[in-house]
Amino acid sequence: MIEIGGIPALRQWRKERAGTVALVPTMGALHSGHRALMDRARELADHVVVSIFVNPLQFGPGEDFTRYPRPFAEDIPMCAEAGADFVFAPAFIEMYPAAPEVRVTAGRMGAVFEGADRPGHFDGVLTVVTKLFTLSLPDVTVFGLKDIQQFTLVRRLIADLDFDIELVGLPVVRDRDGLAVSSRNDYLTPGERISALAIPRALDAGEAALREGALGGGALGGGALGGSALADDVLAAARAVVADSELRVHYLSLVDASTLQPVREHFRGDALLLIAASAGTTRLIDNRPLEF
């Protein structure tokens, strides 16, 4: 039987549990991507905790905190079907009885891309994740890779603050039309949804450019400037797709997967093609891992 509760109930539940515990942090409005996270957590641990909490610290002024979907009654059956043991659903006043004076800061890696457009966002994310870790004491935690910057920062949080937690990333889950699943997809009108499909098409185009360039000859196939030329071609192919769309692009960048810094000449290794764009008023993010 699934249990639901706030901080006291979670602490008591955790004290009574032997075996391993996996944590799946969410803000609710659960979809197939969350279900995949819960299914993976079920495979990895003896017990699964799913948190459902719309964290105000990660929303900036004018963002969608008040209208963010909260279909709690619909979320619980999905958690139960996925085999979750405890749903941590704290009240706002439990998590933040007063405005927190002490917060976790994301540093320079949190000041770029999403952090540049949404100042303080990742400070709010890492602060609430730290609270979730200390409350649930998980052995493993499962995050989706759609928000790859968030995943990278949580990985650094675990390393820098010496949490004894295994972090597992789950590849992006997509709808049949290729759009990455997201709670915010519900905001899209049918026309905006069609426009948003330029996002996965741009990532596909960038990946295809890398593949074709790596197989080709001349500058694209190697040589002293091979890495730089390939990066330019990847970005150009992706940009051509979104330029021919109705999207408002916030960023489209190719970065080193370990540092989130732009790839440089002679780069070899794992990279990420990152994009954030708005269809209408809805901001969407996506990414594609690439190997140079």
Positions annotated as catalytic residues are 34
31 marked as binding residue: yes
- Strand locations in the chain (E): 3-5, 21-26, 47-52, 86-88, 140-144, 166-170, 248-256, 270-279, 282-291
- CA separation for the pair 124, 107 (Å, rounded): 12
173 marked as binding residue: yes
Residue 164 marked ligand-binding: no
Between CA 170 and CA 62 the distance in angstroms is: 30
Ligand-binding site membership of 28 (annotated):
yes
Q: At what angle do helices 198-215 and 226-243 cross, to 10 degrees?
A: 150
Structure tokens at 9: 């109930």
- Judge whether 166 and 32 are in contact, CB under 8 Å: no
Collapse the DSSP code of 32 into the 3-class scheme (helix H, G, I; strand E, B; otherwise coil) and give the result: helix
Annotated binding residue 261: no
206 is in an annotated binding site: no
**Cα angle at 83 between 96 and 131, to 5 degrees?**
20
28: left (phi > 0), else alpha (psi -120 to 50), else beta?
left
At residue 141, φ and ψ (nearest 5 deg) are -135, 145
147 is in an annotated binding site: yes
258 annotated to bind ligand: no
Establish whether 183 is an annotated binding residue: yes
State how far the Cα of 220 lies from the Cα of 72, in Å rounded to an integer.
51
Instruction: Judge whether 176 is annotated as a binding position.
Output: no
Vertex 126 angle, CA 125 and 130, to 5°:
120
Q: Is 27 annotated for ligand binding?
A: yes
21 is in an annotated binding site: no
142 labeled part of a ligand binding site? no
Binding-site annotation, residues for ATP: 27-34, 144-147, 173, 181-184
Q: Which positions make up the binding site for (R)-pantoate?
A: 58, 150
Task: Cite the annotated binding site by residue number.
Answer: 27-34, 58, 144-147, 150, 173, 181-184
